[in-house]
A and B are shown apart, each in its own frame.
Chain A
């Protein structure tokens, strides 16, 4: 729980960490003065920082790029000079141009905006001071989670405020922002936005690189040079994309490889990874995300749309927590995992495929960072309420309304469970519990509203209704509210997911034998590998941890051989099960579609709308009561998982991302999931495959 001392803007979490509201100070002094103050930076290893031009020159002159350029020249038949010229242009398009003056401008603007949007921005001071120390000793990689556009510059803003070197930011971006593609709006305008971002430290990576060898080479050399020289801390999103569901995504490894390679090749002594967890009370893009998930295309990232979003600026988004995690020493983590001698016998500049050992290590480390991000995120009371709201029948929410005291009672029960599980909960201690919850509901009036002691789901209303809405339309409106709720539930999902999977295993297998439970747990984790990220190779540890958590909450007895539900733990177990149930139901629907209705060969483009319409039908007929089956995220995750399980294979020949569906295998998976056959029937060894 949080003890807030409003006067000083400090909040203390139960873990004893101190979070400081950085906006508090800004509200009391002049923003301009802050932006223009003298800055004392302590750069990496005390050395002077090289200029952007020098950095770019070092990249272009690198032996590695020479090799690649020559290789490409022989492959394509063009001259080396041409290829190198091409590389120069690519670099120009990519590179950042970090400048103090723009940072000052950025700081000023962000202060203005943030003061309007957020009541406070809490930052943990301990993590920040560890980060400051790390930036002087080793190259630092900042690895925040990515839930909102606002993440983009907020880290730089915080570091700027505390005189810590501001990072360069890897940003995957659409082509028109680079001025490569004509858009409806003026090219110059777009270039200007791009330039501002560049000057704030962003460097741009094309969205689809594919097999463009030269681009990969330029990008990786650019990244590696930044790390090698300790030019500045680097920030990138290990999850790759913004999470539409507020759930952590499976990490992407390409960037991670580039960042870690200088350590593997002993070009730096160590690299420090700093996982950063950003948690929002209320996410700016909440409804936008819900619409996207339902298949309504998202508006383009243009300046005009940015200006139109000023409406958004009028609203209150509560508090934001930025938790700088404990720095991770790559050297320490890789001990015994990487044999650096393997790079001794060939020049390090030669393009080399990463060894299996290196790949495994990078994968493991990336997953670990995501786990640490999860553990570091701060859970809001609202997220707990969302868990509870989603477990109520939909009709109760849309029509008769949920009794307020019922909701609050259950939320308080859940609060205890969350704290037992050791999560960071942001629950103000001084304020009465009921006030905390009503203010949470008030903050999220776009999702629920409270009336006469009952809570209702908000349904989007169109002012001028020309014709009565169809049941389908009504359903879609409910769906968007439900998906928003679901994403807030997801904010705390990571706390429960592993015990919940065990609880589910207990329920479905109806067994208490540890090994049987573990087998099923592995199956679930494998099937939901894109829903709930787990660290490769650590399934059994996770299982053990989950069991001991269940024991700690009093939900189960654990012995050498058995896990037995305890008499008093039924409430906990059924709550946990109900958390996973929507996923199981959605997956069953999709599996059913693939088995029964879908063709042998299908593309993702066909799959998504088809499943959506099946789910709509089922919901309307009352057969299915989770709206999450409508989410394109869930649908894509299933496809990925099935590919991993080799129940679906990508056909090489076609351009269109066609899939071959192995219906028998899918039927087996469905049967295992519903408990008809044991998971051993599946011819996979999940632990090894993860």
Chain B
């Protein structure tokens, strides 16, 4: 690296300096126009003070309140006590301190596990097991001069090296620590991020954004093959609400804020966002944007893509944002749709303007029991058809219903247990529901009191048509509680040889039942074939409804005693389950995100080692198709070729051209003929930028670096207010060619990885 740095020719330095000038120009400009807001931003407390001082949940030192090898807070966990009962420790939750009499029985019967067979986790994080940081001295020096706080402390680094996939948590419990980031930085505001990204580009350092650390798509994993210094950019201190606009009902918020803080702070002003993903206690706004998150109450408030009005993102090439906050634009494809779901590969989201709503006057839980899952799904479909879904409506299958039932806290009096018995008698004996087939829908209504009651009646009337019986608020509320404590429950399972994971999909209505049945059956069969001794828990719920389909959420867990490599077995089973989802017409993910290693790479990319479509797939959540990619040889074997975003992006006239190689003909212009920076506020640019990559950066955590190529493509198309020139640390960036073409002949080609050869063939 050092050799690279000093060995650069004068030519390169000249170019770099020119770029610096350009960037500086961009950075100044918006600051001039928007000085008031900027000033407010920079008033933010500097590095010394900790966020917790302001009543924020997550401190810089996460280790003070969080577990390092499990979910959530240090003081909160499930334990089996000596009396054969389950306790939930701590004071933070409604369930905290309560006794759950039914859980242990359920646990032992479901998994064939025993409380006597423990597989406890390593308690102490052994700092000496962590590899010493691989530092880029020049970068560290310059970083110091910026005044942005950073750390090389082993604990700090370990805390940012993993998300919550099973294969990340499992080794940690055994005290095994793999590659961790070398430096952790805590930018405090947007400008800090710009500085860090600039420095990273300049010194050829990898950046991995870190928000709430709740990733379940392996996005935080440091690749083993990476030799450069890895910097984890922790946004947790960028956690302020910068302004609330009550006229337009929007709030401008820094992206590092976590869900519970955002909601609490807004509540203080009488507002809410209504975005409540299951991980909202810990996940961050930036993470939601980057993974296209979905909240449980999306029926009222919408998913994240409906909620955001404006996004500011720092890319290696500069900052990208829309020039206005208009509710809708028709000037080219929506740039937000590239940012949403880009999972940190294109840039780092720093600030978001979100819609807010007044806190609802009235909230009511509810539940409905159906004789079987088929009836339940039919009811949800009807609710979706009539477009009268409550804020949340979820249908749990029988296994999950029993699971939820096992979480019932100890009855407070004889009377309640008597009442429970009576209810059970009524449903199973009087109404003839089979306790091993019935299933429960949980409901959450929000709004004005009258409207809620009216709405409730409408939904219960529909339910009655499908044999549904109202089953009380309590069952409903417990159903939602399950999703918040499920991650703690996984840690409990891991203490007793039970491993578990969840995954989700979205699927058209007519396939919902098929997906549920087939995926669950596939899990059971795969476990059996792979020598899992006890039949696994394989359960699902229909967790969101849409006009054209639904989101299905699966839990799957098994007892791994007797398996030599439980994680490998587990991954094989999960892989099979995902394959089954795809074969059944489901999507790879509804809201968890694609991720790299876990899903996209293994399911999609593994099958073809050809084009850089993998990136394309990551960006747009590509469609699997058996179609041949134009201009490419026939796929071999079981290869599956992806339909790249080209298909999505190109207008029809260019579609014809796509098959011809001429479209890829690079213009022989050099970096000198870079287009002048664009400051257009609306409409596609007259001369869109066309990028032909010829060489490419290696490895994964180039996220930001590779992003620049993609962003360039995008920039040409979109309605953006500021664009910077080529990246600062341009050493490893491919020579870029900018073509001036009319929009109709524009074609995009996204590219990365090991595909240089092929690209050249194409050009």
Contact = CB atoms under 8 A, between A and B. Distances in A.
Interface of A: 46-47, 266-270, 336, 339-344, 347-349
Nearest to A349: B510
Contacts of A270: 521
Interface string B569-596: 0000000000000111100000000000
Contacts of B517: 268-269
B638 interface: yes
Given A342-B626, A347-B510, A266 B583 contact: yes
Contacts of A268: 517-518
A269 B518 contact: yes
A269 B518 CA distance: 5
Contacts of B626: 339, 341-342
Given A266-B518, A269-B518, A339-B583, 6 more contacts: A266-B515, A266-B584, A268-B518, A269-B521, A339-B626, A341-B626
Contacts, number: 35
Nearest to A137: B521
Contacts of B510: 347-349
A46 B372 CA distance: 12
Nearest to A265: B514
Closest 7 CB pairs of A and B: A340-B583, A344-B585, A269-B521, A266-B584, A269-B518, A266-B514, A267-B514
A336 B607 CA distance: 13
B638 A266 contact: no
Contacts of B624: 341
A266 B437 contact: no
B703 interface: no
Interface in B617-636: 624, 626
A46 B515 CA distance: 19
Contacts of B582: 341
10 contacts: A266-B514, A266-B584, A267-B514, A269-B517, A269-B521, A269-B522, A339-B626, A340-B584, A342-B626, A348-B510
A74 B371 CA distance: 41
B511 interface: yes
Contacts of A342: 626
B521 A266 contact: no
A341 B581 CA distance: 10
Interface string B498-520: 00000000000011001101100
Contacts of A47: 372, 437
Contacts of B521: 269-270
Contacts of B518: 266, 268-269
Nearest to B514: A266
Classify chain B's interface size: 10 to 19
B83 to A, nearest CB: 35
Nearest to A270: B521
Which secondary structure characterizes the binding site on chain A? Answer: loop
B522 A266 contact: no
A351 to B, nearest CB: 16
A46 B436 contact: yes
A235 B199 CA distance: 72
Nearest to B584: A266
A339 B638 CA distance: 10
Contacts of B584: 266, 340
A47 B518 CA distance: 16
Interface in B373-416: none
Interface in B196-238: none
Contacts of A344: 585
A266 B521 CA distance: 12
Contacts of A349: 510
A266 B436 contact: no
Contacts of A46: 436-437
Contacts of B515: 266
A348 B515 CA distance: 14
A342 B436 CA distance: 35
Most buried by B among A266, A268, A343, A348: A266
A47 B510 CA distance: 21
A344 B583 CA distance: 8
Most buried by B among A268, A344, A347, A349: A344
A64 to B, nearest CB: 12
Given A267-B514, A342-B626, A336 B638 contact: yes
A174 B194 CA distance: 83
Nearest to B521: A269
Interface in B216-264: none
A593 B584 CA distance: 55
B605 to A, nearest CB: 16
A45 to B, nearest CB: 9
A57 B626 CA distance: 37
Contacts of B583: 266, 339-341
A538 to B, nearest CB: 20
Most buried by A among B372, B436, B514: B514
B547 to A, nearest CB: 16
Contacts of B514: 266-267
Nearest to B511: A266
Contacts of A343: 585
A336 to B, nearest CB: 7
A58 to B, nearest CB: 12
A67 B584 CA distance: 23
A46 B398 CA distance: 14
A15 to B, nearest CB: 25
A286 B585 CA distance: 52
A62 to B, nearest CB: 12
A59 B517 CA distance: 22
A343 to B, nearest CB: 7
Nearest to B637: A336
Interface in B427-445: 436-437
A266 B522 CA distance: 12
A339 B372 CA distance: 31
Contacts of B511: 266
A347 B511 CA distance: 10
Contacts of A347: 510
Contacts of A339: 583, 626
Most buried by B among A46, A340, A347: A340
Nearest to B517: A269
B518 to A, nearest CB: 5
A567 to B, nearest CB: 47
Interface in B284-341: none
A476 B511 CA distance: 62
A349 B510 CA distance: 10
A340 B640 CA distance: 13
B622 to A, nearest CB: 13
Nearest to A340: B583
A276 B522 CA distance: 27
Nearest to A357: B626
